[in-house]
C-alpha cells in the first residue's frame, strides 16, 4: 500500500483494530473453514486400524474404516479425501503390477467410500512407489527411472481409479508429459468429468520420511540394477523457483484442472508465485514431515500443538491456496466447527 494514504501516529493506531476478538474477526483478511481441507488418508489391505509410529494420531485404515471415515468427513464438512495405499511388501514387484488392480485396496476403498458418502469427493494418488519393491515412482531400466514406459503404467492405474469411481486423479510421479497422456486416455474412455489435480511442483524433499513409513516404501532400492537411484532425478530441486512455473504451465496446458505444490510450509513462496502467475486453483500438501514435527513438538510441550496446527493451515490460505491436503483435516475441522 502506498505510504501517502496512511495517516501518521497518533491519528492512526493500528492496534485499535486488534483490541478485541470481535474487531480482529471483523477485519480478518483470510478465513479457514472445513471446506478448505482435503483429508490425507492411508488405507491398508487388512482389518481395522494400524497406527503409524512416526505420525501420532494417524492410522492406516481398512476399507471398512475408510468408508466410516468418509461419513465422518461428510459430517465435519470436509469436501474431499485423498487416499494412499499401504501394500504388503511381499506383494510388490519391480513393475508395480498391483497399481492397476481393479480388485485392489484402492479400488475397493474408493467404491466403499463413495457408497458410504457419495457427497464426499475422493482423490487418488497416481504413482507407482507404493507398489514397487524398489520404492520409486516409476519403472527402472538401465539404472534409471524411465519416463515414457512409466507413463503407460500410470495411465493404466489412472483409468482403473476413474472406473472405480475416483473423482480426482492426482499424479504425483513427476514424469514429463504424463498429464497430457492421462487426459487423452480419460477422454477416450468417456471419463469426461474426471478431474486431474497435478502434483505440478513436487520437490525432492526431506519432509516425506514419515509418509514412506505409512505406505511401506521407506527404503529406496535399485530394483534389478546395481546403481543407486535418487528421486531427485525426477522430483524438483529445492533450490529452484522459476522451474516450478514452467512445470505448472506445462501441466495446465496438458489438461490439469488444478495444481499442487508439495511440500507445503517450506514452499509457500512457490504457492504465491503460482497463484499470481496462473490464477488457477492451487493447492498445497502439508506433508507427513510437517505433521510429524508439529505433533512431536506438541507432545514434548515445546509448542501449543493445536494453535500451531491452526496457524500452519491458515498460512496456506494467506499464501493463496484454494485448499490444503493435510493429515490434520478431521482434527482441524472439529476445531473449526466447535
Q: Which residues are catalytic?
A: 202, 262
- 3-state SS, residue 59: strand
β-pair partners for 312: none
Distance (Å, whole) CA 263 – CA 325: 10
Set of cell numbers at residue 30: 483470510
87 close to 132: Cβ distance less than 8 angstroms = no
* Residue found under cell 515414457: 148
User: What DSSP state is assigned to residue 235?
Assistant: S
Q: Nearest CA to 256 among 170, 192, 319?
A: 170
Set of cell numbers at residue 310: 491452526
- Name residues whose C-beta falls within 8 Å of residue 228's C-beta, 6 or more positions apart in sequence: 222
Q: Nearest CA to 129 among 276, 231, 255, 277?
A: 231
* Residue found under cell 478431474: 195
> Other C-beta atoms within 10 Å of 284: how many?
29
Distance (Å, whole) CA 309 – CA 102: 37
Distance (Å, whole) CA 47 – CA 148: 36
> Other C-beta atoms within 10 Å of 301: how many?
8
- Name residues whose C-beta falls within 8 Å of residue 75's C-beta, 6 or more positions apart in sequence: none
Amino acid at each position: 500500500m502506498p505510504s501517502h494514504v496512511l495517516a501518521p501516529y497518533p491519528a492512526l493506531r493500528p492496534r485499535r483494530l486488534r483490541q478485541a476478538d470481535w474487531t480482529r474477526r471483523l477485519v480478518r483478511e483470510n478465513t479457514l473453514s472445513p471446506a478448505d481441507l482435503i483429508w490425507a488418508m492411508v488405507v491398508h489391505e487388512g482389518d481395522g486400524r494400524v497406527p503409524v509410529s512416526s505420525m501420532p494420531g494417524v492410522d492406516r485404515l481398512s476399507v471398512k474404516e475408510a468408508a466410516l471415515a468418509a461419513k465422518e468427513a461428510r459430517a465435519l464438512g470436509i469436501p474431499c479425501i485423498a487416499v494412499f495405499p499401504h501394500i504388503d511388501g511381499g506383494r510388490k514387484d519391480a513393475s508395480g503390477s498391483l497399481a492397476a488392480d481393479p480388485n485392489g485396496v484402492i479400488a475397493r476403498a474408493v467404491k466403499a467410500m463413495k457408497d458410504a458418502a457419495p457427497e464426499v469427493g475422493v482423490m487418488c494418488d497416481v504413482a507407482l512407489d507404493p507398489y514397487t519393491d524398489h520404492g520409486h515412482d516409476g519403472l527402472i531400466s538401465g539404472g534409471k527411472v524411465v519416463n515414457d514406459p512409466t507413463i503407460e503404467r500410470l495411465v493404466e492405474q489412472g483409468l482403473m481409479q476413474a472406473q472405480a469411481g475416483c473423482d480426482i486423479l492426482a499424479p504425483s510421479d513427476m514424469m514429463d508429459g504424463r498429464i497430457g497422456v492421462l487426459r487423452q486416455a480419460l477422454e477416450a474412455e468417456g471419463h469426461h468429468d474426471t478431474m486431474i489435480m497435478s502434483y505440478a511442483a513436487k520437490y525432492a524433499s526431506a519432509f516425506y520420511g514419515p509418509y514412506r513409513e505409512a505406505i511401506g516404501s521407506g527404503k529406496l532400492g535399485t530394483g534389478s540394477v546395481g546403481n543407486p537411484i535418487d528421486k531427485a532425478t525426477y522430483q524438483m530441486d529445492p533450490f529452484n523457483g522459476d522451474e516450478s512455473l514452467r512445470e505448472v504451465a506445462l501441466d495446465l496446458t496438458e489438461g490439469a484442472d488444478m495444481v499442487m505444490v508439495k511440500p507445503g510450509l517450506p514452499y509457500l513462496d512457490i504457492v504465491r508465485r503460482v497463484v499470481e502467475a496462473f490464477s488457477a486453483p492451487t493447492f498445497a500438501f502439508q506433508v507427513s514431515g510437517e505433521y510429524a514435527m508439529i505433533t512431536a513438538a506438541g507432545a514434548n510441550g515445546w509448542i501449543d500443538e493445536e494453535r500451531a496446527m491452526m496457524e500452519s493451515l491458515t498460512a496456506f490460505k494467506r499464501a493463496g491456496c484454494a485448499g490444503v491436503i493435510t493429515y490434520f483435516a478431521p482434527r482441524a475441522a472439529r476445531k473449526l466447527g466447535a
